[in-house]
Amino acid sequence: MADLVITIDGPAGSGKSTVARLLAKKLDASFLDTGAMYRTVTLAAMQSGVNMSDQEKLLEVMEKKNLNFSSREGIMLAHIDGADVSEQIREPEVTANAHYVASAAKLREKLVEMQRDFAAGEEKIVTEGRDQGTVAFGDADIKFYLTAQAGERAKRRLTELRAKGRSDRLEDVQQAIEERDKSDKNRAVGPLRPADDAIVIDTTELSIEEVVETVLGCVKEKCPG
């Protein structure tokens, strides 16, 4: 296990990916975007045309396909059978289907195992997702849970989509976010919730820089070394 493990969990649009990436850079730590793993398995299943509600079929896809994850300069790269799918896994169709993989207990087990293996090879790691502080790294050195009002999270997501040339409507983006929250919070395995010992930060009124400063301050206080 790494000497320093920092977990950042939270709902979509809470700022956790950006904050985790910037924090990792400041601490010279590795960065693990676990959402990319759920997205990659989802895309592989979509490409294979299997019934997404069939856990055994999803498992077969995971076993047959060569799924590879690596982190380069703070960006998570994902490959399926050698093909770079790092951009494709961000498509809204993949986002909409990720809940099938996220609620399949056996797949979560395998993905958590892969996350722990990844951390074992690193000296310091900042890992973000939904269950990093509660399940994957219950004994992490410091845990954060970022949250923000759904309307603000939808605006942030819309800005990202517009930057990619898409013309989605704010109401639709907010609805998709709220549906994802519901599914993430209510699943039986690895549900989205703050760990009992997590530091909870509401980022609604904060800039990314302010969140990074707050998080960094907590890390320096709790782990001075």
Nearer to ligand C5P by Cβ, of 13 and 65: the residue is 13
Smallest gap from residue 103 Cβ to ligand C5P (A) = 8
Smallest gap from residue 81 Cβ to ligand C5P (A) = 21
Nearer to ligand C5P by Cβ, of 35 and 224: the residue is 35
Smallest gap from residue 179 Cβ to ligand C5P (A) = 10
By CB under 6 A, name the binding residues for ligand C5P: 12, 34-35, 38-39, 98-99, 102, 129-132, 180, 184, 190
Nearer to ligand C5P by Cβ, of 156 and 180: the residue is 180
In this structure, the number of other CB atoms found within 10 A of the CB of residue 13 comes to 26
- CA dist 21 and 76 (Å) reads 10
Name the closest residue to ligand C5P (Cβ): 35
Nearer to ligand C5P by Cβ, of 2 and 135: the residue is 135
SS3 4: strand
- CA dist 146 and 205 (Å) reads 12
Smallest gap from residue 129 Cβ to ligand C5P (A) = 2
Evaluated on CA atoms 174, 176, 182, 184, the torsion sign reads: negative
Task: Check if the beta carbon of residue 40 is closer than 8 Å to that of residue 61.
Answer: no
- CA dist 55 and 84 (Å) reads 25
